[in-house]
A and B are shown apart, each in its own frame.
Chain A
């Protein structure tokens, strides 16, 4: 068959299947991310059917997916929100970082993956999925809950931490010398601070530069600018994803709102392909050997996220059920853990088991997170112990 025809058929089949999977996920009320990963596993190297024709496309599309994921993440926040969130949540944020980065680091060191592997796994276990968390909060009608701002400000802290972590990670993955690494980190810090300053003072100008009343022109402007900035950032050894995130932060107000609306379907498409591409590159037979470790890591990091949420909610005077809800909402890991693992695998600086472990871990956490968030409340109330608000009133 003509290679183009074959590629189109394969791509069409995959995208169509993703649609079915997403519908299934919606039907049973879970995040579609684990299903996308499973889909990728099934059609990649060592899977049920190997689709070779779409490798190249899915690789590039996956890259665009990451850029769009982070661009949209940046669009969610204004620089002012980032700063107030940071001021309010830095203690909880630091606790979150320490408690959840360590398990990944320790396991990677234990499995002999070295410093680079430890840095990667730390990131994978650290970052909650803001996408899943936001969806859980909305779906469960917890927008008005008092612990919700606590959860959201921790997520903001994590997202900002990502903006610093990703460039550092890409430097380490590139294997440059310690001094060279320090320089890159310095550059990254300077760029991040500069962009935040620009966003805070001149955000409206950036917004004006990409804005257009015509939605076609607007889409092309935003997408073009995102890819340009991402490419430039990548050339400067600051990861492409961070460049996109920073552009997202710099765009503000109504422009950001419109950009979110216009980019959302594109993001959904490319991000789905990104998860598939990640699964395509992982051999399913590599997962069973690491599944045990993934489970151990899952249990430990679910507990550490619970602890983070409980502590943070307690600080602002939330009663016990709310503390547990805050902790459970943070448990889900998803898109960004895969983004981190994807960067690492693409660089070739980490062993193949790491991708398998990260995949298995995210599969577990993306399913367990929303479940935990849903069922923690009756559990917290059922557990006898210190009186909550209810008992105190009775």
Chain B
């Protein structure tokens, strides 16, 4: 994918690309450090329909969501020949009982046979996380298992 980088003298820098549907999407990094998500209008790719200021936590979360999507899609592609195996993503919300706890405490594999194959955190991937990895708000867990197993895992992560 070709990302266009444009200097905005005195104001910052814009990084964007054109989607297949003909909309421009990207971010503006302001000099002062803020980030804005920009999405072009459908009828005029030169203008922005939305430019949404994001703080660093929000930007990281958005990055996780999109990155997780990418990873999930890839894993789904790889598992499509294995019937009954599904990939799904779970996010750790501020009210999750396991935030700031090591992942092993949830005993997900023991209780429902689901494997956490990766954690997306602040735009980075932690592959094959061990049981001692501490979970934080905004983490995105990529899990592989059966349909029922994943439902149970979701319940465990939400309610303990």
Contacts and interface: CB of A to CB of B under 8 A. Distances in A.
A353 interface: no
Given A319-B46, A322-B44, A144 B38 contact: yes
Nearest to A153: B9
Most buried by A among B9, B45, B46, B48: B46
B10 A322 contact: no
A145 B9 contact: no
A148 B46 CA distance: 9
A377 B10 CA distance: 24
Interface in B8-33: 8-12, 14, 16, 24, 26, 28, 30-31
A156 B44 contact: no
Contacts of B8: 143, 148-149, 152
A145 B46 contact: yes
Q: Chain A contact residues (Cβ within 8 angstroms of B): what range? A: 20 to 34
A76 interface: yes
Interface string A69-108: 0000000110001101100000000000000000000000
A48 B31 CA distance: 43
Interface in B57-108: none
B7 interface: yes
Contacts, number: 86
B155 interface: no
19 contacts: A81-B9, A81-B10, A130-B10, A141-B50, A143-B28, A143-B36, A144-B16, A144-B28, A144-B36, A144-B51, A145-B47, A152-B9, A152-B10, A155-B10, A156-B9, A156-B10, A319-B46, A322-B47, A377-B47
A146 B10 contact: no
A63 interface: no
A142 B44 contact: no
B53 to A, nearest CB: 10
